[in-house]
Structure 1
């Protein structure tokens, strides 16, 4: 997929005002202390065609909110047809679906309903392009869900485990730090300006992630999918995958194996690829899971911890460089040598 420039919404930033220019939409959210979820929700709404360049009104007055075209994070109503997207009301338990079970904040609500449109617009793809759905789900998993969980006070761990350290560098915390301190003056206009700054911060990080997943994550996924589809051409067993260029593969391999319903009897044991310098080749054993240190089939025990000529002599394979002491990875100076290592490891 060709690289795509992801544009930011118009720099025009304005909150409120007594007059509403003809045709200008208005986004309503609450005033006072702001949080990451509505800061992001407002930003990404302004990436849609309907709410591009929309004005913003920050208020808790129902009469003011009733004049808005869409309201997020306030109003105690979730109703798509009325364009009301609050999540604080009793009985609200909406989740993203697709296997996700975290209760949505206003960020997740807006992203659930408008995310596909935003992605297709930003990347200039048709809404039915399968890449849109892949990126929509990936961005929720890696970026939006944590904002939903933090805003709703959902613990990250199922059990009460005392962390070894505190992390206050996440996006939600950085947005929170932009609010005035308890002993600083709370001026409404100043806080509105800080809200715009928070919205810009959250939105730029959102676009940065989308940009990364479009330019880097998705191309890597496509490489893994292609390598999986032709793995029997590499070895009839289908247990060896070959990449002609280095790319991150672990996450994609496990996800694609599940999506393609590849049985365990046909799942690959080894991945061959050039190292980052392109000068040598690696043969890596596929782990039991992306985070596991155990392999489906580690390289042979007699090779482990042996290097260079000694390894070539023991294995009977020319140009060997090393095999790690745990047997999870080895190296050879040539592509053919790495292939022979993988095939001999299969037979071991």
Structure 2
């Protein structure tokens, strides 16, 4: 395996590229050689970030050529770095390897994860390495953030006034640092994010069993739901007249919550906030006002409320309908 020159500073993209390749059985014991020597490169089984060639058939993955304009595809327009190139060609296998999933197992879910990981993590490697600004150039940041992975990998390089005789060891430390964060992100998305999507998807499809309007969704257990709900609605082409207004779930104290669905996952504005007269009212006073037994509270912002029982929180739509006339 050949990567960038032993005298050259290393970057985050080739560090992660090497880590991903070494997760695969055929490269798990591969020797990493940092070189620009064409004769040495010719002997390598796989080459990343050097060599001036992009040719998947011969496992050459350089992205520095003038004519190189490849992207991940699927709607993404950021030019690939060596991390993105290796991920594009080996990412689904790498994800399976980390999660212990077999090749014929859950192909749609693996591809969903494959795309999500690129969007959330790998694209940043590509953008930073290729000098693509995350914001319009006329936006001046309020402060400097040097905590990102590219900064931390860069900091592992020798200082300008330090000897570089241990640069290979420094590079492998960068490989492990970038790789461990990547691995944990894949595990989180595969073992937490993806099961949450399944819960939300099942609850959305069965919402009319809760109330004929379909405006209330009941989760079997709490999970992060906002991003999933919007994405599943878009995939199923749900129109606004079929959008749910409220999510119901049991909290850690075994009480029940009803939360208004925001207009977008990051918005504080709700599709249909809980009624204004209920806001800031608690306990029996709220039960008397709403006609719903067991009320605990409605937040002053109208985006969330609580009740002692599932029956109580799912009664919101009926009560809301009475108020709306």
Do they fold alike, i.e. is TM over 0.5? Answer: yes
Q: 1:124 maps to what in 2?
A: 101
What per-residue deviation string (whole Å, max 9, x for no partner) do you get for residues 219-258 of structure 1?
A: 1011001101101111111111001211110010011111
Structure 1 residue 186 displacement after superposition: 1.9
1:301 equivalent in structure 2? 276
Q: Which of 271, 275, 289 is the matching residue for 1:314?
A: 289
List alignment gaps of at least 5 residues for structure 2: none
CA contact (8 A) 2:215 2:317 kept: no
Match of 1:329 in 2: 304
- TM (norm. structure 2) is 0.95
CA distance in 2, matches of 1:264, 1:30: 55
Q: CA RMSD in A?
A: 1.4
What is the TM-score when the length of structure 1 is the normalising length? 0.89
Q: What's the CA shift for 1:125?
A: 2.6
2:75, 2:237 → 1: CA distance?
Answer: 17
Give the distance between the partners of 2:320 and 2:12, measured in 1 at CA.
51
Q: Which whole-Å CA distance do the structure 2 matches of 1:278 and 1:345 have between them?
A: 26
Deviation, structure 1 residue 346: 4.6
Structure 1 unpaired stretches of 5+? 1-25
Aligned twin of 1:135: 113
Question: CA 1:333/1:87 → structure 2, altered by over 3 Å: closer, same or farther?
Answer: same
- Aligned counterparts of 1:88 and 1:29: Cα–Cα separation in 2: 12
**Does structure 1 residue 185 correspond to structure 2 residue 145?**
no
* Aligned counterpart, 1:270: 246
SS across alignment from 1:50: helix
CA contact (8 A) 2:199 2:220 kept: no
Describe the shift of the 1:93–1:191 C-alpha distance in structure 2 as closer, same or farther (beyond 3 A): same
2:229 aligned with 1:253, yes or no?
yes
Secondary structure of 1:283's partner? strand
Residue correspondences, number:
320
Distance (whole Å) between structure 2 residues aligned to residue 343 and residue 165 of structure 1 = 49
> Is 2:202 the partner of 1:226?
yes
Q: d(CA) in 2 for partners of 1:127 and 1:49?
A: 17
- Per the TM alignment, residue 174 of structure 1 is displaced from its structure 2 partner at its CA by 1.0
